[in-house]
Homo-oligomer: A and B are copies of this chain.
Amino acid sequence: MAMNDKTPPDQSAAQAAGGEASPPTLKTIAFMTGLGVTTVSRALKDAPEIGAATRQRVQLVAKQIGYRPNRAGVRLRTGKTNVISLVLNTEEQIGGFVSDLIYGISEALAPTPYHLVVTPYSRTNDPLEPVRYVVETASADGVIISHIEPDDPRVRYMTEHGMPFATHGRTHMGIEHPFHDFDNRAYSREAVEKLAALGRKRLALLAPPSNLSYYRHMRDGFADALMEQGLSEVPFPTATVDHSIEELRKLTTELMLRPNRPDGFVSGAGAGTFALVAGVEDAGFKLGQDVDIVSKQTSKLLHLLRPQLYVVNEDIRLAGAELAHAVLGRISGRDMASLQSISHPRAVEAYEA
């Protein structure tokens, strides 16, 4: 009887020749165990119709020879890419934001079979373009985007096309979706309260770009707290955290030299705060004396600024991890509620010389 017409994969031959051993495939295991390829495939994914003994045997052999499913094979057959795409603007701000985000995502994906692919776009392009690319070419199972707008075309697009995604920031467009956000409203409120407690009266807000969702949040918290504390705002003309560092410094100096200069700042971003501090000092004023600054920070660098300064930490690495879990949750069909998280600011910390 022709006990086995299963061909031994040329594996053995190649290996004996001492050359580069081509990686083991299902066929290799099938040959080694004397089973069919299909059985091996199912045994490895714990399908119920495979006998317990067989399953164990297959899994043992697979582990022994270091079998890893060929991604291209799986992808071609199932359409599943095992890829999460992080869509990034390459004209991105200065600072470690992207680094930390990537670290956070990477760590969360590490124990999974997912790879992280960076999909860039530059300011010149339509922000929708990279997203469309990923959707059209089905080159990822899920997408993470940041710099969210209240009415974000990317969110609409991916929702309509059934592409799982998570956003770093909330939207306000009547579409439920996974997100992670920092409570910027609470932040700016606390910042104002801190400045009020310090006796400051005329506050300026270094706000995010006005098209982004968290602009509103931060503004609202700022405005509400101003009202409650009976303080007034000194408008920061046209400046946002997105300005070039040098430009921002100049604007700050100019602002400080006006008759009704602010005596307190709430800063919406870590890197911008350096410019703020420099701008204030350049105008001849002293922090902790003429003016106080409360800033968010995503690194620990502001701790090193010797002028007295108040900071609230935003953990971007954590955000990355949350976002990764959110997309994965979406992909595996978990219910929406568990995929939406907001991290709240800890109390304002003072770092004094």
List the interface of chain A (C-beta within 8 A of B): 20, 23, 66, 68, 70-73, 75-76, 81, 88, 90, 92, 94-99, 102-103, 106-107, 110, 115-120, 122, 136-139, 161-162, 245-246, 249, 271, 274-275, 277-278, 281-282, 299-301, 303-306, 353
Q: Which of B70, B94, B106 contacts A120 (CB 8 A)?
A: B106
A214 smallest CB distance to B (angstroms):
20
- Cα of A249 to Cα of B119 in the assembled complex, Å: 37
Contacts A71-B139, A136-B66, A282-B353; is A92 near B103 (CB within 8 Å)?
yes
Chain B residues within an 8 Å CB radius of A66 = 136
User: By the criterion CB–CB under 8 Å, are B107 and A249 in contact?
Assistant: no
Given contacts A72-B75, A245-B300, A274-B301, 7 further A-B pairs with CB under 8 A are: A72-B72, A72-B81, A76-B76, A88-B102, A88-B103, A98-B103, A245-B301
User: By the criterion CB–CB under 8 Å, are B106 and A88 in contact?
Assistant: yes
User: By the criterion CB–CB under 8 Å, are B92 and A98 in contact?
Assistant: no
Q: Which of B20, B88, B303 contacts A161 (CB 8 A)?
A: B20
User: By the criterion CB–CB under 8 Å, are B136 and A120 in contact?
Assistant: no
A68 smallest CB distance to B (angstroms):
5
User: By the criterion CB–CB under 8 Å, are A274 and B72 in contact?
Assistant: no
User: By the criterion CB–CB under 8 Å, are A94 and B94 in contact?
Assistant: no
Q: Which of B71, B98, B136, B275 contacts A137 (CB 8 A)?
A: B71
User: By the criterion CB–CB under 8 Å, are A95 and B137 in contact?
Assistant: no
User: By the criterion CB–CB under 8 Å, are B245 and A304 in contact?
Assistant: yes
Q: Which of B20, B68, B99, B304 contacts A274 (CB 8 A)?
A: B304
- Cα of A277 to Cα of B306 in the assembled complex, Å: 9
User: By the criterion CB–CB under 8 Å, are A277 and B299 in contact?
Assistant: no
30 intermolecular pairs with C-beta atoms under 8 Å apart:
A20-B161, A20-B162, A66-B136, A68-B136, A70-B76, A71-B137, A71-B139, A72-B72, A72-B75, A73-B76, A88-B103, A90-B107, A94-B299, A95-B299, A98-B98, A98-B103, A102-B102, A102-B118, A107-B122, A110-B122, A115-B119, A115-B139, A116-B117, A116-B120, A117-B117, A245-B303, A246-B303, A249-B304, A271-B301, A274-B304
A289 smallest CB distance to B (angstroms):
15
- Cα of A137 to Cα of B23 in the assembled complex, Å: 7
